[in-house]
Chain A
Amino acid sequence: MSQKEATPEDILRPMQSTGRWYKIIFAVLALIAVGWMAIWGYQLEHGLAVTNLSDWGSGGGVTWGLYIGAFIWWVGIAHGGIIISAAVRLFGMDRYQPVARLAELLTIAGLAMAGTYILVHMGRPDRVVTSVIPAYPWTVQSSPLAWDITVITLYLVLTATYLVLTLRYDVHRLRDQMPKKLGPIYSIITVGYSKKEDQIIERMVWWLALGIIILAPLLLHGGVIPWLFALLPGMPGWMGAIQGPQFLSIALTSALAGVIVLATGLRRVYDWNHILTDDVIRGLTLWLGLFSLLFIWLQLQSVVTGLYAAPLDVAAVTSTMVTHPVYVIAIGLMVVVLAYIFAQAIRPSVFTPLRSVAIALLALYATLTEKILFVVEGLQYPTFSLYAGVPGPYFPSWIEMASIAGTISLAILIFMVVLKVFPVIELHAVEDHHDDDHDEEVTT
């Protein structure tokens, strides 16, 4: 399959030179990001009145909108990323080892963006530290948001630890080929490193991966994130046990899509086709298909349950949802994604990396819009629907929409910076490369 052998030099390539295109793209993205920061500044000054949000009820609007929808999307990508990486390690899926670190970095970037969205959507971000910490021992007993904060922080710590531990091996060995001026960073990463620790680290990281795999569905994107919504009886569009699995399926769908886009894009730029091989991309695409199927299947459950003989409030929100253009398009796109992947599964020749990127982008768009609609429609159709202002109309203001551009730019920028500092492909993945020739046919 592969033409060349993978070498450590391959993964160092991004750090060794910076092309013109890199600078242009960086500049453009930085401009967008800074531009959005300025817009955020405007919002900080005038308050959230600048959005199209309003009180639900007599206020005639919805109080959570694009910001929260996008928050869920980013957090889903983040959770999905580390699950992918942990799964690769736990289940010994060597084929995908090259994407493992990309997935972890996706988690870090995703969590950073999710955290940004939290700050953006709050009325008083200046108080987030001073208000959360003193009350935490008590709020963590009762508030799903406090659980959210706990678990996301835990997640960030686990992922960062995981990342740092696995980086030590790479940095130590490749140090002399990495940029000298970043020396201090490398020193910190490898402090106290000795080769003896490799075995121990392997063990530790394995356990971390196990912890993450267990935690993720139970507590993270299959737990506290959906519980923010699923525990509220006054909002029938949200309430219910299906949100746990539903959110988890979306997390993996969007994370896999993100990894596909990243991997395909990066291999093109840095000539990594022999590392991030077609097999890898094709395999990731098939996994995307599996989780997309799960996502659609769970949506089907909600729809059928909500339409057949549901209580009036549930029926109201479900019937609105299934006829809403955003929903129809999102699900339609996911069906397209599924159909393509199904075709690719039956006939592998259908696959091209470009097509994978295309459907990955469709999946990302579909999951983002579906999540925003989920948040908004939940609030538009409460059980207490007596108000003339219910359902209250909502379409994101351009200030809110700018945040999507802003955060995507920032996330890519984070990647672009990391590219210059650390190898985004594990050294292990290219060291053992000679085994790849003996890989079995893709059976996922």
Chain B
Amino acid sequence: MSTEKPSDKTDEPAHPYETEESFHPLGKEWEDRMREDLEDTDFDADLGMQMARDAQRLVAGEISEDEFYSEYHDDVEEEFEVDERPVFDDVSGAEFDDIDDNESMLEALRDIDLEGDEQSRREVMKKMGAGAAFLGYGVFASYDNGEEDVPESISGVFPADEDEREHRWGMVIDLERCDGCLACVTGCVDENGTSTGANWMYVFAYEDEDNTDEANLLVRPCQHCSNAPCAKVCPVRARHTRSKDGLVLTDYETCIGCRYCQVACPYGVNYFQWGEPNVPMDAIEETSGSIHQEFDDINSPSDVRALDEEEREDRLAESHDHVYDYRGRWVDSRPPQGVMGKCTMCPSRQDGHTEDGHGEKGTVACMDACDAQGMSAIHFGDLDAEVGDEYDRAVRYLERRTEERRDVNQEQSTMKFEADHAFAVNAGGELDDIDDGYHPLYYVGQRTDGEEPEPDAWRLIDEDAVVVTDSPAAEPADDGQFGLSVIQPLGGTGPGDIGALYTDDPEQEVTATITYDDDEFDEEDSREFDVELQLGAQTVAEQTVTLTEEEDEVDEQLQTSVTFTVDGEAIEAPEGQTSVLFLLVEEVVEDDDGDETMELRQADARPVFVSADRPAANVPSVDYQPASQDGELFDVPQILYRDDDELVIEGEFQYPTTEQSWTFRLFALEDDAVESDVAEPIEYDFDEEYVSNTPWGGQISSFRLLEDLGTDPNVIYLGNEPGPNAEQVDGQESGINGALSYDQIDTTLWGEWMEIIDDRSEHLQYGADAGTTVNS
């Protein structure tokens, strides 16, 4: 009998099934029956019951299998003289047929026939001892990798198998969103205190004349490959892959600076610390956070590793440490002299040190910076996750960008033909039947194949919104000189730029700007205008405005703004409807004979919603079924005038095959949801174009860099892949809107020590003059 009574082990917390009466889910009676059965044997019933209780705790997940098996080893051996319970590390000779992939180890082991292998297991147990079983467990995990069990202090070169690991950190980078602003580069430098020229995050602007006329961008962090050549080649295993989440990191304490990882990496993501780092370590500790600063008794990496796991976690989190990871290894922020560094994907964040409550887990500094810029080109997350899981940002974005547009009959999805349509608005006086106000506009079609269209069978191709009205008796003024600014925006389901005029407000302000080119003023120092605000047919405000060269000159133009005060109570237009507010200007007009007269001309027009209260303008709509093919309307004006019979609205539609025949309409929707024709289709220009043989929906192309080298990178790109003859160009000179050069950006935190540059070799100067300062 062991000296420790089984009952002594009951001090641990009870598992969920345990009640006061019994530890077994089937209750006290069952427990008693089992005890009776045990007492019938020659063996220790107490031991048996205690083991049973702990087995329940194991099933409840309160203790690990290793703990369970090792805890009773001595007792079992004493009682039975042998311990033939399954040990995980020796699986040779066992039958695996019944193992299901989804089973836990415990369930799986139940299925194994272990009878044939008693001898070797006992031997293994003798050799390794119970404690070694903990390590042995790891072998099973990496079995499929073909990699021997590697202790945590050394670390392996692959992530653990998918069912063993917690995450597979990676990125989805949308190159079509990137604008080359290099905010990510700055963000990374600020986060890590890297040295001048060590651009862990890097963005190429490049030209690829074989493939595109314009320049493109490529964002290049470390790819954190699942088959990382850099980790494999490290002779001291300083460069390694964390098994729990696949991060490829460098242990700055172990690295000997041989630079073989840099040589083996095909992507060029490594940056060696050639000389003294620019940013001093205590600056990093102070600014980014350090366990050393917070705790006086922790002064070296070995001190950090010496702590037990929980205490280390607590202390690292408390000090918001940005240097050590959860294993206590020095892997984060910039490396010291003579050591290699590269993008780390921010392990301090992934381990939950940087912000309370693991707030920054699942984020990286470069992504934050890109989001802050409004680009959101970088999406970091767990690539093992499915949409809906934690840290699914990357996979969620990927799915959204690559999903099919519509569910389509595969038969139709191989070819596309485009047809251009044109609609003559109001050619048959259609707008006369439509009330003043705001109306949704629908471009619909249906497949008729020569028959008459059915009224309920229209499918929606595109939609827009318009306001219908009569225009004032005024010809349009020259474009661009007069502009009405938007009045208070309206909520609800109307378009965003409909303003509001309130009938209970006697003093509403409407502003207009007047801009004139300077050369119009050659002979005069000032000019006078009569400007009028007309709501529908009613003049609601008027003013005289003077523009002088002296006071109103702005950038070689003359500009002034005019504020009208509108008396809402005097408005005659009907409430609850959208009307149009016109800006009219008396302007000098030259007729054919060269005589000049002053004429009232329409300078601008905006839809406004007239109302007593502050409503939401909920406009009627109809739920059409979407058409199975794509199409769109182009350049739909905001206001349709009833007296305009020259307006043509164009649209485009894509057919899968020329054998179909469709009929199209342009509808406006009345308040009572009645569809009214707005226009007659006048052209049916069939443009046959073989577009592609790929599935419908035009999936965006995604790629990984250098994929056929077998590195299994964890960065997925959306957009163009650079071809073999692509060449990098300077960001600012690339012609990409918003792209910057590296000398235009700078760190916000470390400016007194380092600057951001591109070509590091220029900075690592060593001249013939031995007195030259050696930079790093």
Taking beta carbons and an 8 Å cutoff, which residues of A are in contact with B? 46-61, 63-64, 121-125, 127-128, 131-132, 134-135, 138-139, 141-146, 148-149, 228, 232-235, 312-313, 379, 382-390, 392-393, 397-399
Q: Is residue B396 within 8 Å, beta carbon to beta carbon, of the partner chain?
A: no
Give Cα A306–Cα B593 distance, bound, in whole angstroms: 80
Q: Are A48 and B256 in contact (CB under 8 A)?
A: no
Contacting residue for B148 out of A48, A54, A138, A313, CB 8 A: A138
Within 8 A of A (CB), among B205-243: 206, 218, 229, 231-238
Q: How far is the CB of B234 from chain A (nearest CB, A)?
A: 6
Query: Which single residue of chain B is at the shortest CB-CB distance from A229?
Result: B263
Within 8 A of A (CB), among B715-770: 722, 724-729, 758-762, 764, 766, 768
Q: How far is the CB of B462 from chain A (nearest CB, A)?
A: 40
Q: Are A47 and B275 in contact (CB under 8 A)?
A: yes
The stretch of B488-496, B686-694, B702-710 that contacts the partner chain: B702-710
Q: Are A132 and B256 in contact (CB under 8 A)?
A: yes
Give Cα A149–Cα B260 distance, bound, in whole angstroms: 14
Give Cα A287–Cα B705 distance, bound, in whole angstroms: 48
Q: Which residues of B contact A382 (CB under 8 A)?
A: 266, 268
Q: Is residue B157 within 8 Å, beta carbon to beta carbon, of the partner chain?
A: yes
What would 5 A/B residue contacts be, using CB atoms closer than 8 Å?
Answer: A55-B760, A64-B259, A312-B724, A386-B722, A397-B766
Q: Are A48 and B339 in contact (CB under 8 A)?
A: no
Q: Which residues of A contact B268 (CB under 8 A)?
A: 55-59, 382, 384, 387, 390
The stretch of B57-65, B171-179, B196-204, B407-415 that contacts the partner chain: B196-204
Q: Is residue B578 within 8 Å, beta carbon to beta carbon, of the partner chain?
A: no
Q: Are B256 and A128 in contact (CB under 8 A)?
A: yes
Contacting residue for A54 out of B199, B276, B709, B760, CB 8 A: B760
Contacting residue for A233 out of B199, B233, B710, CB 8 A: B710
Query: Which single residue of chain A is at the shortest CB-CB distance from B762?
Result: A60
Given contacts A58-B268, A122-B256, A313-B724, contact A233 B709 (CB under 8 A): yes
Given contacts A123-B256, A142-B233, A388-B729, 16 further A-B contacts (CB under 8 A): A47-B774, A48-B275, A49-B275, A49-B775, A50-B774, A54-B760, A58-B758, A124-B255, A134-B153, A134-B154, A135-B254, A138-B148, A233-B266, A234-B266, A235-B266, A399-B766
Q: Is residue B150 within 8 Å, beta carbon to beta carbon, of the partner chain?
A: yes
Taking beta carbons and an 8 Å cutoff, which residues of B are in contact with A? 147-148, 150, 153-154, 156-157, 197-199, 202, 204, 206, 218, 229, 231-238, 254-260, 262-276, 337-340, 705-706, 709-710, 722, 724-729, 758-762, 764, 766, 768, 774-776
Query: Which single residue of chain B is at the shortest CB-CB distance from A42?
Result: B770
Given contacts A47-B276, A123-B337, contact A56 B256 (CB under 8 A): no
Q: How far is the CB of A70 from chain B (nearest CB, A)?
A: 15
Q: How far is the CB of B154 from chain A (nearest CB, A)?
A: 5
Q: How far is the CB of B352 from chain A (nearest CB, A)?
A: 28
Q: Which residues of A contact B264 (CB under 8 A)?
A: 232, 234
Q: How far is the CB of A43 from chain B (nearest CB, A)?
A: 10
Given contacts A48-B274, A386-B722, contact A132 B257 (CB under 8 A): no
Query: Which single residue of chain B is at the shortest CB-CB distance from A228?
Result: B260
Query: Which single residue of chain A is at the shortest CB-CB distance from B706?
Result: A384
Query: Which single residue of chain B is at the shortest CB-CB distance from A133?
Result: B236
Give Cα A312–Cα B723 distance, bound, in whole angstroms: 11
Of A53, A123, A127, A382, chain B has the most CB atoms within 10 Å of the CB of: A123
Given contacts A49-B776, A234-B709, contact A57 B256 (CB under 8 A): no
Q: How far is the CB of A197 from chain B (nearest CB, A)?
A: 39
B-side binding surface: helix, strand, loop or mixed? Answer: loop
Q: Are B274 and A234 in contact (CB under 8 A)?
A: no
Q: Which residues of A contact B727 (CB under 8 A)?
A: 386, 388
Query: Which single residue of chain A is at the shortest CB-CB distance from B205?
Result: A388
Of A49, A312, A392, chain B has the most CB atoms within 10 Å of the CB of: A49
Q: Are B236 and A139 in contact (CB under 8 A)?
A: yes
Q: Are A48 and B728 in contact (CB under 8 A)?
A: no
Query: Which single residue of chain A is at the shortest CB-CB distance from B260?
Result: A145
Q: How far is the CB of A136 from chain B (nearest CB, A)?
A: 9
Query: Which single residue of chain B is at the shortest CB-CB distance from A146?
Result: B235
Q: Are B202 and A124 in contact (CB under 8 A)?
A: no
Give Cα A393–Cα B764 distance, bound, in whole angstroms: 13
Give Cα A128–Cα B258 distance, bound, in whole angstroms: 10
A-side binding surface: helix, strand, loop or mixed? Answer: loop
Contacting residue for B764 out of A49, A138, A399, CB 8 A: A49
Give Cα A398–Cα B769 distance, bound, in whole angstroms: 11
Give Cα A148–Cα B267 distance, bound, in whole angstroms: 24
Q: How far is the CB of B148 from chain A (nearest CB, A)?
A: 7
Query: Which single residue of chain A is at the shortest CB-CB distance from B151?
Result: A138
Give Cα A55–Cα B725 distance, bound, in whole angstroms: 22
Of A56, A131, A313, A385, chain B has the most CB atoms within 10 Å of the CB of: A131
Given contacts A49-B766, A386-B204, contact A131 B254 (CB under 8 A): yes
Given contacts A49-B774, A50-B766, A383-B706, contact A235 B263 (CB under 8 A): yes
Give Cα A387–Cα B199 distance, bound, in whole angstroms: 13
Q: Are A234 and B265 in contact (CB under 8 A)?
A: yes
Q: Are A392 and B761 in contact (CB under 8 A)?
A: yes
Q: Are B761 and A54 in contact (CB under 8 A)?
A: yes
Query: Which single residue of chain B is at the shortest CB-CB distance from A118?
Result: B258
Q: How far is the CB of A387 from chain B (nearest CB, A)?
A: 6
Given contacts A58-B199, A387-B728, A388-B728, contact A135 B154 (CB under 8 A): yes
Give Cα A64–Cα B764 distance, bound, in whole angstroms: 15
Closest 9 pairs between A and B when the two form their complex, measured CB to CB: A123-B257, A57-B268, A234-B266, A123-B338, A49-B275, A145-B235, A54-B761, A60-B761, A49-B274
Q: Which residues of B contact A127 (CB under 8 A)?
A: 236, 254-256
Q: Which residues of A contact B761 (CB under 8 A)?
A: 54-55, 59-61, 389, 392-393
Q: Are B235 and A132 in contact (CB under 8 A)?
A: yes
Give Cα A319–Cα B140 distance, bound, in whole angstroms: 49
Q: How far is the CB of B218 from chain A (nearest CB, A)?
A: 7
Q: How far is the CB of B766 from chain A (nearest CB, A)?
A: 5
Q: How far is the CB of B287 from chain A (nearest CB, A)?
A: 24
Q: Are A142 and B232 in contact (CB under 8 A)?
A: yes
Q: How far is the CB of A309 from chain B (nearest CB, A)?
A: 15
Query: Which single residue of chain A is at the shortest CB-CB distance from B710?
Result: A233
Q: How far is the CB of A415 from chain B (nearest CB, A)?
A: 29
Q: Which residues of A contact B234 (CB under 8 A)?
A: 139, 143, 145
Contacting residue for A63 out of B235, B263, B269, B705, CB 8 A: B263
Give Cα A385–Cα B727 distance, bound, in whole angstroms: 8
Q: Are B339 and A46 in contact (CB under 8 A)?
A: no
Q: Which residues of A contact B760 (CB under 8 A)?
A: 54-55, 58-61
Q: Are A63 and B262 in contact (CB under 8 A)?
A: yes
Q: Which residues of A contact B338 (CB under 8 A)?
A: 47-48, 122-124
Contacting residue for B274 out of A53, A139, A385, CB 8 A: A53
Of B268, B275, B727, chain A has the most CB atoms within 10 Å of the CB of: B268
Q: Which residues of B contact A125 (CB under 8 A)?
A: 256
Q: Are A47 and B235 in contact (CB under 8 A)?
A: no
Of A51, A58, A139, A143, chain B has the most CB atoms within 10 Å of the CB of: A58
Q: Which residues of B contact A228 (CB under 8 A)?
A: 260
Query: Which single residue of chain A is at the shortest CB-CB distance from B726?
Result: A386
Give Cα A313–Cα B708 distance, bound, in whole angstroms: 14
Q: Which residues of A contact B722 (CB under 8 A)?
A: 386
Q: Are A124 and B339 in contact (CB under 8 A)?
A: yes
Q: Which residues of A contact B709 (CB under 8 A)?
A: 233-234, 383
Q: How far is the CB of A190 from chain B (nearest CB, A)?
A: 38
Contacting residue for A389 out of B156, B256, B759, CB 8 A: B759
Q: Which residues of B contact A52 (CB under 8 A)?
A: 766
Q: Which residues of B contact A122 (CB under 8 A)?
A: 256-258, 338
Give Cα A51–Cα B709 distance, bound, in whole angstroms: 31
Give Cα A386–Cα B207 distance, bound, in whole angstroms: 10
Q: How far is the CB of B180 from chain A (nearest CB, A)?
A: 14
Q: Which residues of A contact B198 (CB under 8 A)?
A: 55
Q: Which residues of B contact A392 (CB under 8 A)?
A: 761
Q: Which residues of A contact B266 (CB under 8 A)?
A: 232-235, 382-384
Q: Are A149 and B235 in contact (CB under 8 A)?
A: yes
